[in-house]
């Protein structure tokens, strides 16, 4: 039986960043990352918008607020120092109804409290940044520090650097059993490894992996699908920056937005936030989980009836956006002149690992890190976990018991 100091389950951005920081801080050198797929970045870390968020949305004091700005700064510096692709295009956030105007002040206040660079701008200033946009209330938010990167490029670079440091990445190794008393994991191909400390960074499967350790039994992941369309040709619109709607802060989705790709070649429109039929249901019949779906639809119907987190607003406004006319309507709330013939379906699609607390019967907004005997479980690593990953890794390490292990 092989043994190692640290086992990390999951070779996504969270697991890779954790390994990177454990090594860089001299906490551990003997690290094995277990990844069930044959490549890294197959799931959420390789399927997101690639936006390095500037930290304006999150409740001051939340874990998201604590790590987003620092994480974005560190990742930007890391990306720049390696000459990877970076689009420093900023972001405008525009109310789609006059009645949302007072929420601009709330978002601005949150941004300032979190330490973000953020400005309230008028329509004249907005039009200078994005000529085709207009705020119905006359005001919008400008976030100059929002950037766009190429997620898979970052994952590949991290993989190279981790391997150079001697960190082992084992692919096609699905961990399906954990004996926490004996500190042993077993893989699907029946290999057993001993560890001193275990980190569960398994994204969409993180609740199931936590349950193998009898941890977080009150949590389950409700997967939400994010589909993207794109502009057929940007010559007509000349969009340069991220254009986001002012979000409903009571639900954990930012709404359909326009995002220029890091290489400035495409303008993506999305992602939607609709119920996924399986955690890895990327194609119609792939990864279907009928029992999970029935359970989740039951939970979501209850949310609708109880209207927790104003869930009914989400259902009415966002849940149908995978139908093109609804998507187009959301896009037109940001750029009124966009037409059906100007957009096409892109092959980009990601699934959010949205956590649900079955005790409190509500969607969880913040990141959740649970420490157990010799293990830490990272649940709800939703957006902005990619942005935050380096700072989030430090937070996970500092709040875990990893340094006190024998």
CB of 205 to ligand FAD, least distance (A): 3
Between 94 and 201, name the residue whose CB sits nearer to ligand FAD: 201
Rounded to whole angstroms, how far apart are CA atoms 282 and 284? Answer: 7
What is the edge-to-edge ordering of all strands in the sheet holding 147-149?
51-52, 147-149, 86-87
CB of 16 to ligand FAD, least distance (A): 7
Between 43 and 66, name the residue whose CB sits nearer to ligand FAD: 43
CB of 46 to ligand FAD, least distance (A): 7
Which residue's Cβ has the minimum distance to ligand FAD? 12
Between 50 and 95, name the residue whose CB sits nearer to ligand FAD: 50
Torsions phi, psi of 276, nearest 5?
A: -90, 145
Between 105 and 324, name the residue whose CB sits nearer to ligand FAD: 324
Between 100 and 272, name the residue whose CB sits nearer to ligand FAD: 272
Q: Cα angle vertex 204, ends 200, 205, to 5°?
A: 55
Neighbours of 232 (CB within 10 A): 12
Rounded to whole angstroms, how far apart are CA atoms 394 and 376? Answer: 13
CB of 82 to ligand FAD, least distance (A): 18
The structure tokens listed for 169 are 């990445």
With 0-12 CB in 10 A as exposed, 13-18 as middle and 19+ as buried, what is 194? middle
Torsions phi, psi of 165, nearest 5?
A: -85, 0
CB of 136 to ligand FAD, least distance (A): 25
DSSP annotation string for 154-220: HHHHHHHHHHHTT-EEE-S--EEEEETTTTEEEETTS-EEEEEEEEE--GGGHHHHHHHTT--TTEE
Give the three-class secondary structure for 82.
Answer: coil
Beta carbons of 65 and 114 less than 8 angstroms apart:
yes
Q: Residue 26: is the preceding peptide bond cis (ω within 30°)?
A: no
Rounded to whole angstroms, how far apart are CA atoms 357 and 2? Answer: 36
Interacting residues with ligand FAD (CB under 6 A)? 9-15, 34-37, 42-45, 48-51, 53, 174-175, 201-205, 209, 226, 271, 350-352, 381-387
Beta bridge partners of 343: 231
CB of 194 to ligand FAD, least distance (A): 17
Between 105 and 214, name the residue whose CB sits nearer to ligand FAD: 214
The residues, any chain, with a CB within 8 Å of residue 95's CB and separated by 6 or more, are 101, 103, 104, 135, 136, 137, 139, 140, 245, 246
Between 147 and 402, name the residue whose CB sits nearer to ligand FAD: 147
Q: Cα angle vertex 370, ends 365, 371, to 5°?
A: 160
CB of 383 to ligand FAD, least distance (A): 4
CB of 39 to ligand FAD, least distance (A): 9
CB of 49 to ligand FAD, least distance (A): 3
Between 6 and 382, name the residue whose CB sits nearer to ligand FAD: 382
Between 12 and 95, name the residue whose CB sits nearer to ligand FAD: 12
CA count, 13 A, side-chain hemisphere, 395: 22
């Amino acid at each position: 039986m092989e043994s190692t100091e640290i086992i990390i389950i999951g070779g996504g951005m969270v697991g890779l960043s954790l390994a990177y920081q454990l090594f860089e801080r001299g906490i551990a050198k003997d690290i094995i990352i277990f990844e069930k797929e044959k490549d890294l970045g197959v799931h959420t870390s390789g399927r997101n918008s690639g936006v390095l968020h500037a930290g304006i949305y999150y409740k001051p004091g939340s874990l998201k607020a604590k790590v987003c700005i620092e994480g974005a700064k560190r990742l930007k510096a890391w990306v720049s120092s390696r000459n990877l692709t970076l689009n420093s295009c900023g972001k405008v956030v525009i109310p789609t109804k006059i009645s949302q105007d007072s929420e601009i002040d709330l978002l601005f206040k949150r941004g300032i409290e979190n330490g973000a660079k953020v400005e309230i701008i008028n329509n004249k200033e907005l039009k200078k940044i994005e000529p085709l946009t207009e705020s119905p209330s006359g005001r919008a938010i400008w976030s100059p520090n929002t950037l766009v990167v190429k997620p898979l490029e970052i994952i590949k670079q991290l993989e190279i650097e981790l391997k150079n440091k001697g960190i082992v990445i084992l692919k096609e190794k699905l961990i399906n059993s954990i004996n926490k008393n004996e500190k042993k994991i077993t893989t699907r191909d029946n290999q057993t490894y001993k560890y001193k400390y275990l980190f569960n960074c398994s994204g969409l499967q993180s609740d199931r992996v936590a349950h193998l350790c009898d941890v977080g039994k009150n949590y389950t992941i409700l997967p939400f699908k994010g589909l993207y369309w794109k502009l057929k040709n940007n010559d007509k619109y000349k969009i340069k920056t991220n254009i986001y709607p002012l979000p409903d802060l009571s639900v954990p989705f930012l709404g359909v937005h326009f995002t220029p790709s890091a290489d400035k070649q495409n303008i993506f429109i999305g992602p939607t936030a609709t119920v996924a039929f399986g955690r890895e249901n990327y194609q119609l019949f792939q990864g279907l989980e009928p029992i999970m779906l029935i359970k989740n639809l039951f939970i979501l119907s209850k949310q609708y009836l109880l209207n927790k987190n104003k869930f009914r607003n989400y259902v009415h406004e966002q849940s149908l956006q995978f139908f093109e006319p609804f998507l187009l309507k959301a896009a037109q709330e940001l750029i009124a002149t966009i037409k059906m013939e100007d957009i096409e379906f892109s092959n980009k699609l990601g699934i959010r690992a949205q956590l649900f607390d079955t005790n409190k019967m509500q969607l969880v907004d913040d990141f959740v890190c649970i420490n157990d005997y010799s293990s830490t479980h990272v649940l709800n690593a939703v957006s902005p976990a990619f942005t935050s990953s380096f700072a989030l890794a430090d937070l996970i390490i500092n709040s875990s018991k990893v340094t006190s292990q024998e």
